[in-house]
A and B are shown apart, each in its own frame.
Chain A
Amino acid sequence: MLSSKLLRFRDPQLAAIWEKVRHGERLSKDDGLALYATHDVIGLGRMANEVSRAKSGDSVYFVLNQKFEPTNICVLSCKFCDFAVKKGAPEAYEQSIEEMLSMLNPNIREVHITMGLHPDWEWQYYVDMVRRIKENFPLIDVKAFTAVEIDFFAKKFKKTHEEVLSELKAVGLKTMPGGGAEVFSERVRKLIFNQKIGAKTWFEVHRKAHRLGIQSNVTMLYGHVETIEERIEHMMKVRDVQDETGGFLTFIPLAFQPGDTGIKTRNNFTSAIDDLKTIAISRLMLDNVPHIKAYWVMLTAEVAAVALNFGADDMDGTVGYERIAHDAGATSPMQLQKEKIISIIHEAGKIPVERDVWYNPLHIYTAEGTTVVSKMPYLNSVPFYAEFEPSSGDVKVAPLVPHVFGEFAKEGKVDAGPMSLMDYAEQQDEFDMLDYGVAVNGKAYSVLLYSHYEWSKLSGKRIGITGETSTSVNLLRVLLEKKYGVKDVKFERLHLTSSQNDYTHFDAVLLIGDEALRRHKLGGLGTFLNVYDLAEEWHAWKKMPFVFAVWAVRKTVAGDHREAIVEALEHSLAFTKGKEVELGRDHAKRLGMTREELGTYISAFTYTLGSAEKEAIDTFLGEVYNIVTM
């Protein structure tokens, strides 16, 4: 179950659909059609907003990015495209890699590259393009090449899709954009883009990319000749593939603009209501896709702003097409664009979160007067948030892994939440501890050390450690040094995005949360022989519970906000008592857990901290300081 909330609808048909949505049931094609047919646009938006909040809290993501289209010369001539030209045409252009490098703003985090299918360019040119960007700008991640381009490369250079993708990945390709999907309908393809790859090849390429650890987006171009039914079918096809691979990050509805394409639409733009409905329906149909993007460049800023309350949780980014470098010190268009995006997100009542290509938060921009509560995105935290509805509109929720919460808390940007014990210990002068937290008395199931070696033989070995929290890492150090007397272990921090990690490089790896549970379900981590549950190790040693996180509230948070937080937290915990399994069902399903496993897992946790837990905190922190000062 997602929510106990009862919504009021003008359209009674929506009430039945909401029942399905709030119970976590998947919507059917007929449901999708009914949603498009409704006149109750606000009711539709409320449902989508609830779903979006359950996934992303109040966060709306954006990225500092630039878009490159290195050539408009294309061997295809698709009817709906007014970008591509033939070689020799007066508007034809080709950019050199040097030109691209000179145009890159070093402050961005993502470069988006798509282009025409050039008849003459060599394979090496594309490889060099990615490689040289990565070499010159290590902080900029490359999101490049649609499935159409990948398929073109494979055919032209006589390679398999896998070869093309792996060679690009090896030089720095991180994710793929979702373009070229148009509408997954043979009828539409024959009508307006018959030269393009169809749905089958498109999905084939993305499936292969996902398997290689290249996550991607998926678009839908709407508002031309497609039917509503075809839009719903498009979404359902995406949903099916996502069930298989889990590799799609974002669904992006693109509003068609007729421009000079010659395709006739009633007005020169889609209706704002069609735009909002499409965003909201995508959010409701695609229960397994993490993000829905309001791409303001095509949607217009006015609709994108409102879409943030209709299910969208991503605004794309600054999308700079900067052709000249800016004078140092001058306000760049990118800076202005960034400020505008932040203010649009604030006005929508949401929290702007600047992200990387995988949606890891880099910065959070808390509005004045707003209190931000961190949401731990793990299965064991469901009871805190299932019914967490603060009565003040200025208390917002942002999903952050514990380590990021700790960092943002230090910057003064996030003010409350279940704080990793080590972060709390570090910041206890600024925070008050509530009597709530995450503790176990025995196994934790989701704090696991996968190791080629037994404890005693880990000396001098390389251990990959989770980047998500420092508490588990310190627990590992305490166990190694104090329980097993093992020293000189080399710790290396893992990437926050699991698809970017190669665990075979390590002698052991420490994983926590959902990643630990997922790997465990997948039969552990390949060849690692030993799997140790750190909380169980601690319990066997100290005969004590272990506390991973404590709820903390910044001392300066206004009284009414603090009250609202405590009230919402206590309400959620009381409401979820005994219903944890039901509430965690969807989340567990994504991790491949059975109902029984979920029951065992969730019942291991205690959310109220009593004297035993507090004593355990002191004991653990004592051990940690002991190591530090030794």
Chain B
Amino acid sequence: MLSIIKEKVFANERLTREEGLWLLKNGSLLDLAEMAEHVRYRHNPQAKVTFVIDSNPNYTNVCNIDCIFCAFYRHEGDADAYTYTVDQMIERFKAAEKRGVRTVLLQGGVNPAIPLEYYTELVRRTRAEVPGIHPHFFSTSEIIGMCEVSGLSLPEVLAKLKEAGLNSIPGGGAEVLSDKVKKKISSKKGTSADWLNVMREAHKLGYKTTATMMYGHLETDEDVVEHFDVIRDLQDEYHGFTAFIPWSFKPGNTPLEKIIPSYASSTRYLEMIAFSRIYLDNFQHIQASWFSEGKKTGQMALHFGADDFGGTLEEENVHASANFVHTTTIKEMVDLIRDAGFTPAERTTLYDIVGEYAEGQYPDCVLDTARLDVHINADVIMPTIPAGMQN
């Protein structure tokens, strides 16, 4: 079976679901890597690795979905629950822009107290007042939440956001797209079909999005292949996915920690990177995450099929809530890529190259900006709906 699969991969043919499952179960790490490298260089022939200077803040930690793998969310009324106003967010974006940040990946909480206007306003004002920053805002769950809050249909909400200036959305919240798994770990987050539906409607309207997967909890190999299969099918329809990003579940401070005490090893991560590269033959980019897996694992992933090193993540709170903290500087990120044997290339959210950096060269911004440890302090906590935002 292995030789049949290898032949197909090297002939640039697509693997069937059965072949994929066999490979995931039986393929050795290095067999996967060998094939993944072939596909990686077919899509991206140069030994170049892209990265983006970005930040992942959150406008609220209030969330009504209660996923058992999450340590970040709070309920309305909790002492450390917060929601920022649009003004506060814009101020933060401006400060980030000054430091050289080019993309903000913004997500909640799914906070039912926030009206649709808050979101459209946030996008519109970001475009108008912080032009150096590309808004990469709102996960599928939040968008579904906006439909519920506003009573509008999904295409209507997406159209309003687009009109406000949004053209890309992050691919988080997919977890494992198998309803069996979703029911166990995020029963209120909706079905696989919900996530796929938002993505499909978004792609139809011309949005670019990423696709993600969080593995290492209650899923089986069959569930993983199902996940890859449905996103590969959707990609065939509109080619709206820019990249695929897997990461491992971090059990710290989550209810799931009791069942899954530690996260999967680097071997499993590299297998996921390589397998995604092989199976997702219609994705141009596979993103390695130094942040979620460790810097050295991030470097290794670049030789296992990944061609992108993700963001500098000036701010991030979700993994941090699970006691999983890695920080970097822009200079270090560039050096990590270089020391792994690749030319670092800065990109936009939509994967356009902004600059390539030869040995000794670095992006023109504050190089030693480390991730800001954002501690929630009392004067920015907004436990209620932002003033002026009530419908």
Contact = CB atoms under 8 A, between A and B. Distances in A.
B320 to A, nearest CB: 19
B34 A8 contact: yes
Contact of A303 (B10, B26, B266): B266
Interface stretch (B83-91, B279-287, B292-300, B346-354): B292-300
B347 to A, nearest CB: 21
A570 B267 CA distance: 32
A340 B268 CA distance: 14
A41 B303 contact: yes
B149 to A, nearest CB: 42
B144 to A, nearest CB: 35
A49 B30 CA distance: 9
Contacts of B270: 306
B29 interface: yes
B37 A10 contact: yes
A267 B293 contact: no
B264 interface: yes
Tell me the interface secondary structure of chain A in the complex. helix
A45 B296 CA distance: 16
B29 A273 contact: no
B327 to A, nearest CB: 12
A340 B29 CA distance: 19
Tell me the interface secondary structure of chain B in the complex. helix
A343 interface: yes
Interface stretch (A13-21, A322-330, A344-352, A449-457): A344-352
Contacts of A486: none
Interface residues of A, number: 36
A269 B33 CA distance: 25
B51 interface: no
Nearest to A266: B335
B27 interface: yes
A39 B341 contact: yes
Given A267-B339, A305-B267, A42 B33 contact: yes
Contact of B28 (A8, A39, A302, A349): A349
B12 interface: no
Interface string B12-26: 000000000000011
Contact of A273 (B28, B41, B268, B299): B299
B153 interface: no
Interface in B28-59: 28-30, 33-34, 37, 41, 47
A479 to B, nearest CB: 46
A300 B294 contact: yes
Contact of A306 (B10, B28, B266, B341): B266
Interface string B252-274: 00000000001011111010000
Taking each of A271, A274, A275, A309, which has the highest tally of chain B beta carbons within 10 Å of its own beta carbon? A271
Given A41-B303, A302-B297, A309 B34 contact: no
Interface stretch (A67-75, A389-397, A598-606, A609-617): A389-397
A276 interface: yes
A46 interface: yes
Contacts of B34: 8, 42-43, 46
B46 to A, nearest CB: 12
Interface in A497-511: none
Contacts of A10: 37, 41
Given A267-B332, A306-B266, A344-B267, A274 B339 contact: yes
A42 B34 CA distance: 7
Contact of B26 (A275, A348, A394): A394
B30 A393 contact: no
Contacts of A43: 34
B296 A303 contact: yes
Given A303-B300, A347-B264, A391 B340 contact: no
Nearest to A43: B34
B11 interface: no
A272 B341 CA distance: 11
Taking each of A39, A45, A46, A347, which has the highest tally of chain B beta carbons within 10 Å of its own beta carbon? A347
Contact of A309 (B29, B297, B303): B29
Contacts of B300: 272-273, 276, 302-303, 306
Taking each of B2, B25, B29, which has the highest tally of chain A beta carbons within 10 Å of its own beta carbon? B29
Contacts of B299: 271-273
A343 B263 CA distance: 11
A1 to B, nearest CB: 21
Contacts of A309: 28-30, 267
Nearest to A348: B267
Interface string B194-226: 000000000000000000000000000000000
B1 interface: yes
Nearest to A45: B30
B296 A269 contact: yes
B267 A42 contact: no
B309 interface: no
Contacts of A272: 295-297, 299-300, 340
Question: Which 7 residue pairs spanning A and B have beta carbons closest together?
Answer: A271-B339, A272-B296, A393-B26, A302-B266, A272-B299, A347-B265, A41-B303
30 contacts: A39-B341, A41-B303, A41-B341, A42-B37, A42-B303, A42-B304, A46-B30, A266-B335, A267-B335, A267-B339, A271-B339, A272-B300, A273-B303, A273-B341, A274-B339, A276-B300, A300-B296, A302-B265, A302-B297, A302-B300, A303-B266, A303-B296, A309-B267, A348-B265, A348-B267, A349-B29, A349-B267, A392-B26, A393-B26, A393-B28
Interface of B: 1-2, 10, 25-30, 33-34, 37, 41, 47, 262, 264-268, 270, 293-297, 299-300, 303-304, 332, 335-336, 339-341
Given A309-B28, A347-B264, A347-B267, 19 more contacts: A8-B34, A39-B341, A42-B33, A42-B34, A43-B34, A267-B339, A271-B299, A271-B340, A272-B340, A273-B303, A275-B296, A302-B300, A306-B267, A308-B267, A309-B267, A340-B262, A349-B28, A349-B29, A391-B2
